[in-house]
Structure 1
């Protein structure tokens, strides 16, 4: 997962100056460079001694992971954390501490969205083909949960 995120970050930094958000009409050309991306499979991410699942179970605001899968996105599946409690677990053991609340920790990641290209036929109309291009985008995901003091706004 970290390897994919690192590759997306590098790719995003390389492509951002050339990206555009304009919609193109049939016959218009996108003024951007096409770059081939080759991922080095020999690069292994550094694995810590504590896995993410262990960390989620040891936290005072435990969470679990669920996969969000979208066929037209790269990476197709992204694991997102989901807080298991609304409060935080008590240090003395037992139940939840109502003085604290569990809040999600969010992180913005780069993703690629696959979009089918519109091809023009000679009569000027649009014709869909089986060619695709990728649009760089971002997505905010939840990576864990933490304990915070609830914010109390006094009424006047």
Structure 2
């Protein structure tokens, strides 16, 4: 057998190794096992806002008295909102939303102000989720690893300038 034949043979075996699950309970249990053993998930921060609630830059409240969390102390503050994707495992996860378009500047003894010389920009991380996909015939499902880009925080960057 040459490499081409081995590759074709291997590709034909892949569907045989994909396990199809009959019901949602079995699928959920399999997803939890796979996530625990193959794709460990980060601890989810608690949601700090509803996804459709308006976000506002907290410059007038900055700095808060002894803020506990990094997202409250940042010069590019953010909040966490819950995102739900019914066909993914885990199906709900927290995603960061930047609260300011600019960045909060603190200069000398002046009150904090939002500067648009800088931009708040999300920090993106790729995470692996398991996606529920139909097997042949559509009555059973298998789990497919997919990469999803998730905003995990915000950072302050220089504003883009076009010449």
TM-score bracket for the superposition, by shorter chain length: 0.5 to 0.7
Aligned residue pair count: 110
Q: Which has the higher strand share?
A: 1
Contact conserved, 2:83 with 2:93, CA < 8 A, in 1? yes
- The one of 90, 109, 112 aligned to 2:127: 109
Unaligned runs of 5+ in 2: 1-10, 20-29, 44-67
Confirm or deny that 1:90 pairs with 2:119.
no
Q: Give the SS at the match of 1:85.
A: coil
Rounded to whole Å, the distance in 1 between the matches of 2:76 and 2:131 is: 33
- Any gaps of 5 or more consecutive residues in structure 1? 1-19, 23-27, 47-52, 120-127
Distance of 1:98 and 1:67 partners within structure 2: 28
| Cα distance, 1:146–1:31 mapped onto 2, change above 3 Å | same
Other-structure match for 1:30: 15
Q: Which protein is richer in helix relative to its size?
A: 2
> Given the alignment, which residue of 65, 71, 84 partners 2:80?
65
Label 1:31 to 1:117 Cα distance change in 2 as closer, same or farther (>3 A).
closer
> Which residue of the partner structure matches residue 75 of structure 1?
90
Q: Equivalents in 1 of 2:158, 2:14: separation in Å? A: 53
Q: Aligned partners of 2:14, 2:104: CA distance in 1, in Å?
A: 57
